[in-house]
Amino acid sequence: MIWNPVQTGGSVLSTLAGTTNVTDESVSDVIDSAAKATNEAAEEVNQFVQFIENNIPNFIDFGVRVALALVAFFIGGKVIGWIRKLVRRSFEQTNMDAGVAQFIDSLLKFGLYALLVFMIATNFGIESSSIAALIASAGVAVGLALQGSLSNFAGGILILLLKPFAVGDYIIVTQENIEGTVKEIQIFYTKLATVDNQTVVVPNSILTNNSLTNVTARPERQLDLKVGIAYDSDLQKAKRLIEDMMLQDPCIIQNEKVKVFVDSLADSAVMIGLRAWVKTEEYWATRWRLLEQIKTTFDAEQIEIPYNQLTVTVRSEKEEKNS
């Protein structure tokens, strides 16, 4: 026996009508409404099933296209990687600047992937003119939204053209409190490595819109140190000891002039200045070694390196009354 909701609803409503004095006409109207709603629902289900059956070939075709697009994207990615590898190898053979090579590589990657997506979209039946119109209409909005990125892109081009620094240089951006060794120059960002081996990603616009110091731009760097000695110490002896240390140091460039002079007369010390030239890569090692050698030598020669002192005179009440 098959359950019929219309008959069941009618019997239930008839029973209710008999027990609650509902008229036969009201029950009939309710039954008709329920039957009509049931028929409409069944019709909608049938239409949906019919739609699915009629469009199964289209769904299959769409699924095949999506699968082919994914395969094409995967293969295209492999081809792009091979092209980039070939271009990088040619850059290495021509000894191209590392910053220029990195910038072109990132630009090539972006352009090739954009071309790949465009080709896949056209194979889906999208007209190339429609894509061009979409790109043109979205260009203004994207340009406004990506003003910072566009300025970073322009900054990267300026860095490559003007060459304020190159990969391997140590730079300092004083206004932004940023410093480190340049590792990569990309389309939008430049990567720096700090002395404690942290990676700092700096937008190119910051590097082009602020003054920076390229510490390693020259092969030689001036070593400039200041040492204080007590006023009652032998000044000439201290200068002679410093000169001997600098003349004997193997990292000091001896064909450049070495200077040892009185820099200033401070509150608690006579400040001795010393200047010499060293190779850029040997700057810090030489600086640290000379400072330690000066300290140990002055201690051995009884030359005092003073520190700030405050002299306090305490007077008794009796002395104050007598005064």
Looking up residue 243, the CATH number of its domain turns out to be 3.30.70.100
Same domain, 257 and 199: no
Is position 180 within any domain? yes
Residue linked to tokens 């019709």: 43
Handedness of CA 108, 111, 116, 117 (dihedral sign): positive
Q: In this structure, are residues 268 and 307 in contact, taking their beta carbons and an 8 Å threshold? A: yes
Which residues touch 16 (CB under 8 Å, ≥6 apart)?
Answer: 22, 27
Is position 107 within any domain? no
Question: How far, in Å, are 13, 24, 29, 32, 107 from residue 36 at the CA level?
Answer: 16, 18, 11, 6, 65
Same domain, 228 and 283: yes
% of the chain exceeding 90 in pLDDT: 26
Query: Distance (Å, rounded) from C-alpha 169 to C-alpha 202?
Result: 15
Is position 305 within any domain? no
Is position 318 within any domain? no
Residue 77 is predicted with a pLDDT of 84
> Which CATH number is 210's domain given?
2.30.30.60
Domain boundary among 184, 217, 250: 217
Same domain, 225 and 208: no
H helices present in the chain, as ranges: 5-20, 24-93, 98-123, 128-145, 147-162, 204-209, 235-248, 283-300, 317-322
CB-count exposure of residue 121 (10 Å: 0-12, 13-18, 19+)? middle
Per-residue pLDDT for 37 more than 70? Answer: yes
Same domain, 43 and 71: yes
Mean pLDDT is highest, among 86-95, 127-136, 288-297, for 288-297
What 3-state class would DSSP assign to 24? helix
- Least confident span in 14-18, 81-85, 152-156, 213-217: 14-18
Is position 153 within any domain? yes
% of the chain exceeding 70 in pLDDT: 76
Between 66 and 19, name the one with better pLDDT.
66
Query: Domain residues for 198?
Result: 127-217
pTM for the model: 0.51
Tell me how many domains the chain contains. 3
pLDDT in tens, 240-265: 999 999 999 999 998 888 999 999 99
Handedness of CA 299, 303, 307, 311 (dihedral sign): positive
Same domain, 245 and 290: yes
Q: In this structure, are residues 246 and 225 in contact, taking their beta carbons and an 8 Å threshold? A: no
Domain boundary among 95, 112, 140: 95
Q: In this structure, are residues 173 and 210 in contact, taking their beta carbons and an 8 Å threshold? A: yes
Domain boundary among 52, 74, 95: 95
- Average pLDDT score, the chain: 79
Is position 80 within any domain? yes
Q: In this structure, are residues 292 and 245 in contact, taking their beta carbons and an 8 Å threshold? A: no
pLDDT in tens, 257-301: 899 999 999 888 999 999 999 998 899 899 999 999 999 999 999
